[in-house]
Amino acid sequence: MQYAFQAQEAASQSASAVVRDPMISIRGLSKSYGGHKANDNISLDIFPNEVIALVGDNGAGKSTFIKMISGVIRPTSGSISIGGRKVDMTSPNDARANGIETLHQNLSLVDVFNVQENIFMGRELQRKILGMVPSLDHAEMRRRTVDLFKQLGLKTPDLNKAVRALSGGQRQAVGIARLLLENDLKLIIMDEPMAALGVEESRLVVELIMRLRERGYSVLIISHNLDHVFQVADRIAVMKNGRMIGAVERNKVEHDDVVSMIVGGRIPERLAS
């Protein structure tokens, strides 16, 4: 019996629950605006290779939470630790230096630039030929762009096309490929990446997220679409009225459980322990 119990316990541990150090550890994070607590005492660990979906009604505090993790706003109180070390992030650059990148809804792409121009925007590779003014190394940027798409398991789009000519899913891929150029990237935060996409295109983004997880990255994704959430997430973190109701393992919950957490603000009794 003892063995059976242990085996069952082991089997019930998802990859995310295996004992290891979190990539990021958030403790007691709060943000007040005047007397209003946009985030109230939020704690959450995110592990390497883990996809967490953050869900909750409008005004629940999701954006406030990710803004604190991505260095856009500073917490009123609480702590964020990365690799076991407390960090004080005062800007998105600080977050970047800590391996955190945010893919914003507009993807920060320049529509009239082509794929590789977008990917290398602001960090163009240069080539110096002896005695000459440095010039852009288009060949190398092209080679690396093809390589990035290969890493994402995607067919490389026509690199000469302006990105406005690409599909929504391909544009997401360009936005993500851009982030992968960061050396120490650990956590990718995505705010409603499928919001404006059709079924096929959303599936592509789901696959992209799977690929990011396979490559060892952590992903924190905000989504209103529970179908997508159930497709990509290892754990589902539910917020309501500025509080974290709980982060539950996807394999242990049904749609209805998550809906009742969002609406009722309580973890289903059988999961609370």
Ligand X SMILES: Nc1ncnc2c1ncn2[C@@H]1O[C@H](COP(=O)(O)OP(=O)(O)O)[C@@H](O)[C@H]1O
The binding site for ligand X (CB under 6 A) comprises 33, 36, 38, 56, 58-64
| 229: amino acid identity, one letter | V
Q: How far is the CB of 222 from Mg ion (least distance, A)?
A: 7
CB of 58 or CB of 273, closer to Mg ion? 58
As given in the structure block, the two tokens for residue 138 are: 């288009």
Based on the number of CB atoms within 10 Å of its own CB, is 251 exposed (0-12), middle (13-18) or buried (19 or more)? exposed
How many other CB atoms are there within 10 angstroms of residue 19's CB atom? 5
Cβ of residue 224: shortest distance to Mg ion, in angstroms?
10
Q: Give the shortest CB-62-to-ligand X separation in angstroms.
A: 3
Q: Which is nearer to Mg ion, 60 or 204 (CB)?
A: 60
| Residue 58: contacted member of Mg ion, ligand X, none (CB under 5 to 8 Å, by partner type) | ligand X
Binding to Mg ion in span 36-95, by CB under 5 A:
63
Positive or negative, the Cα torsion across 131, 133, 137, 138?
negative
In three-state secondary structure terms, 227 is helix
- Would the CA dihedral through 8, 230, 148, 123 be positive or negative? negative
241 versus 260: smaller Cβ distance to ligand X: 241
Binding partner of residue 175 among ligand X, Mg ion, none, CB cut-off 5 to 8 Å per kind: none
Residue 242 CA, chain-centre distance (Å), reads 20
Q: How far is the CB of 62 from Mg ion (least distance, A)?
A: 5
Cα–Cα distance for residue pair 100/91, rounded to 1 Å:
11
Q: What is the CA radius of gyration of the chain?
A: 20
Count interface residues toward Mg ion (CB under 5 A). 1
Which of 259, 204, 256 has the alpha carbon at shortest distance from 231? Answer: 204
Out of ligand X, Mg ion, none, which partner does residue 64 contact, by CB within 5 to 8 A per kind? ligand X
Q: Least CB distance from residue 162 to Mg ion, whole Å? A: 30
With CB under 5 to 8 Å by kind, the binding choice for 246 among Mg ion, ligand X, none is none
Residue 240, binding choice from ligand X, Mg ion, none, Cβ under 5 to 8 Å by partner class: none
Give the interface with Mg ion as residue ranges (CB under 5 A): 63
